Amino acid sequence: MTLSPSSAAPADVSLLPDDVETDLRASVRKVLEKRAPTDRVNALYDGTDDVTGPLWSAFVELGLPGLLVPESLGGAGASAREAAAVLEELGRAAAPSPFLTSSVIATTVLVALGDTTILPALASGEQTAALLVRPTARQHGPTALTAVGLPADVLLLPEGDALYAVRGATVTPVSSLDMTRPLAEVDLDGAERTLVSADAAAAVDAGLLTGAGLLASEQVGVARWALETTIAYLKERRQFGRVVGGFQALKHRLADLYAEVEQADAAARYAAATLALGDADAPVAVAVAGSFCAEAAVHAAEEAIQLHGGLGMTWEHPAHLHLKRAKADAILLGSPEAHRAALGVLVDLPAPTAG
């Protein structure tokens, strides 16, 4: 399905969460509090991972891997709005999970292609998948690619208009700013390839569009955590015999940040709603959310670290986890600048003139 921008927002798009979203959000938050506490997430940076597997198992019990998979293939048949609620909670916890890469991006691609071979295993959580992309900054050869969200059981390889399922590739981890979302270089020499579709370009575009739109919800989760945690801290921290949160300058600063986070929330919710409806305004909504929410998340995380003072600089405090997630998310599926450039084309803005 090809989406094109419309001139006006549809009347039936609501930004208010319904009972299903609210209940789902509460369930996911409860699991994250139990399975992904700060000390376990911090341990990833010391090479110890006792959080990703148990957390994914808990997600499987909730049926989250199959959220966007049709019921006929063993999934929940839910929409982008429910997936957005999950991602917002993942952002709040800065937790590691293949949900975005496998249960959103790869799943959306395969659903669009009508796949019945790989999707059932993804829906059950028995397997995960990741979409391969070629690095833009450097190349190590024709088979060198980059994957996010590894390890994955199935790698989806776009080549021209075709899409292949790849198994048995050589995967080499590379350093990542955000260790909760690992990166790896993939060598396809000797790997087994199976053709999924000879005409998959539109499906891949749909997967990337959905991923970018719902990534904005994760960024809102990061920003909202930073805002709420900072407000709570400033209500308790005292300086010169006064509660720091009572200083007028900080009140203004937090008020501005609150307005920014609420605007980001509205942009992300609208993007998810248009994706859920298959609305023609989805590309515009995603570009707006992708450009605004990324910067809001980084700003909120930076403010959290600064306003927590020395505490925010410590390894034990989770502020650094959220800043790293915000920074990594800001380039994962397009930088804010790239989204603004795409938005300019979508709404027919004139190109900037030199000089």
Total count of domains within the chain: 1
Q: Answer yes or no: is 323 within a domain.
A: yes
Note down the domain range covering 292.
Answer: 202-346
Q: Answer yes or no: is 180 within a domain.
A: no
**Predicted local distance difference test score (pLDDT) of residue 245:** 62
Q: Answer yes or no: is 144 within a domain.
A: no
Place of tokens 């981890």: 173
**Predicted local distance difference test score (pLDDT) of residue 249:** 78
**Predicted local distance difference test score (pLDDT) of residue 104:** 97
**Predicted local distance difference test score (pLDDT) of residue 352:** 66
**Predicted local distance difference test score (pLDDT) of residue 145:** 57
Q: Answer yes or no: is 2 within a domain.
A: no
193-202 tens-digit pLDDT: 999 999 999 9
Q: pLDDT-derived band of residue 1, with 50, 70 and 90 as boundaries?
A: very low
Q: Answer yes or no: is 297 within a domain.
A: yes
**Predicted local distance difference test score (pLDDT) of residue 253:** 92
Q: Answer yes or no: is 57 within a domain.
A: no
- Lowest-confidence range among 131-135, 168-172, 175-179, 302-306? 131-135
Report phi then psi at 330, rounded to 5: -65, -15
Q: Answer yes or no: is 160 within a domain.
A: no
Please report, rounded to a whole number, the percentage of residues in the chain having pLDDT higher than 90. Answer: 73
Q: Domain with 270 in it: what CATH number?
A: 1.20.140.10
Q: Answer yes or no: is 115 within a domain.
A: no
- Lowest-confidence range among 97-101, 248-252, 309-313? 309-313
Please state the pTM of the whole predicted model. 0.90
